Structure 1
Amino acid sequence: MPLIHKFRNELIDIEENQNFCGEKIKQKSNILIIGTFNPDNQSCVGQNNASWFYGRNQSKFWRYFPNALTGNSLHPNDGIENVPEVWKSYCLKNGIVIIDLIKTINKAEILENFSDREVEHRISEDLSNTDYFDVKKAFKNINFERVVYSLRWTDNQIQKMRRIKNLVNQELIEIGSIQNLNQIKYCNTPSRNDAQNSWNEGVNG
């Protein structure tokens, strides 16, 4: 049984129909957010409590990113209710698209936890068991002002996901969604308690 992204159908809708949050992606969009992999409950030992992208309780993405972009938190711990509808509306209003690098991994060994190292260990050396996001299909004729990765890997063991990241970045340039690598920024993982400055720099720097 493969490891499957919890919101794989939404990723496929972007690829097949250029739809995000139920609407067509604008040809001139603002920010593309890229993460790694968000497993469904059958793909991980622990329960994935995310109601949408970056929706796990321990993630502070919905505090860091909106604070950096518009000066307000959208995190439930800050009193925000009616998620994920509030998050989706925010993305549509601000020209935001969110994806993850990986949709599925054809590996029967489920993840012990949600760490990128766990995901890395399930990917084959030649990447052949991994279905990564097809930006060429998803973003043809769509331009982004900036690409922001919600990661800044310091773990030297994470090499296969780096290769996937590099492939995705190159494809974004090949189809003209961005013009150069300077439009790509990398932020500290939103599970950290000290990442706000990193997100401020990534979104606005």
Structure 2
Amino acid sequence: MITVQHRFLDHQINPKVETLIIGTFNPETADNDAEFFYGRTRNYLWRLLPTAFGKADLKGASKQEKLDFIKQHKIDLTDLIEEIKVEEGQEANYYDGYIDNKVTRWKDIIALIDTLPNLKRVCFTRKTFSDIPNMKRQLLNIQKYCENKGIAFKALTTPARFYREDKQTEWTRFLLDGHR
């Protein structure tokens, strides 16, 4: 078995963040070309976010441009999983259903939330939970905690695979709630 850590473990969350976007896992492997969260070719988060704010598409933009954008809009990014242990040859397997029972270290999202006094909304970048029972359990605890703290929580359609107008509308509504 091989231990794989999260590629962006050293990312520091902006303490002024109002919107926290939670994903699953981004492996630190040679096969992963993402320079920042949601940076793989088939992910459209960097089109969804700027479009919601009437800004230019950042898909393919530099890491610094993305960091500047999220800082300006008080958004930040984290993942549920910090480390997994997988079979040799599976280090770059991104499938949530596969990694769900390979987790050796979860990120303490609730402790993170407690350090963010301006947090207004939290989302998870996936709507379905049928093949991820362990992640689902983590998320239900986070959702309940958010509800108790008066923080909006929503599971959104994944930004991966394709870009569509209905996906954009869903993300825009979530991001701009209270900003119009």
1:5 aligns with 2:16: no
Give 1:157-168 correspondences, 5 Å limit.
Answer: 157-168=131-142
Residue number among 2, 7, 23 corresponding to 1:35 in the alignment: 23
Are 2:52 and 2:172, in contact at CA under 8 Å, matched by a contact in 1? yes
Report percent identity of matched pairs.
Answer: 25
Return closer, same or farther for 1:138/1:31 CA change in 2, 3 Å cut-off: closer
Match of 1:52 among 26, 36, 55: 36
Q: Secondary structure at the residue paired with 1:9? A: coil
1:173 positional shift: 5.0
* Deviations 1:92-145 (CA, angstroms, capped at 9, x unpaired): 11111211111112x24234621211211424xxxxx33223431563352312
In 2, distance between residues paired with 1:189 and 1:111?
22
Cα separation, partners in 2 of 1:141 and 1:98, compared to 1, 3 Å: closer
Could you say which residue in structure 2 is the equivalent of 1:204? 176
Q: 2:49 aligns with which of 65, 69, 93?
A: 65
Instruction: Show CA shifts across 1:135-178 (max 9, x none).
Output: 3156335231211222112x52221110111223334456x4xx
Q: Is the Cα–Cα contact under 8 Å of residues 4 and 39 in structure 1 kept in the other structure?
A: yes
Look up the SS of the partner of 1:97 in the other structure.
Answer: strand
The one-letter code sitting in structure 1 at the alignment partner of 2:100 is: E
The 8 Å contact of residues 3 and 108 in structure 1, kept in 2 or not, is answered as: yes
Alignment of 1:75-154 (within 5 A): 75-76=59-60, 81=61, 83-105=62-84, 107-109=85-87, 110-111=90-91, 113-123=93-103, 129-137=104-112, 139-140=114-115, 142-153=117-128
**Residue 71 of structure 1, CA deviation:** 4.2
Unaligned runs of 5+ in 2: none
Deviation at 1:74, TM superposition (A): 1.2
CA distance in structure 2 between the partners assigned to 1:117 and 1:108 by the alignment: 13
Q: What TM-score comes out, normalization by structure 1 length?
A: 0.72
CA–CA distance in structure 2, aligned partners of residues 199 and 147 of structure 1 = 12
Unaligned residue ranges in structure 1 (runs of 5+): 15-19, 124-128
Contact 2:29 2:91 in 1 (8 A): no
Residues 25 and 81, structure 2, Cα contact 8 Å, conserved in 1: yes
Using a 3 Å threshold, how does the CA distance of structure 1 residues 204 and 185 change in structure 2: closer, same or farther? farther
Aligned residue pair count: 171
Q: Which amino acid aligns with 1:5?
A: H
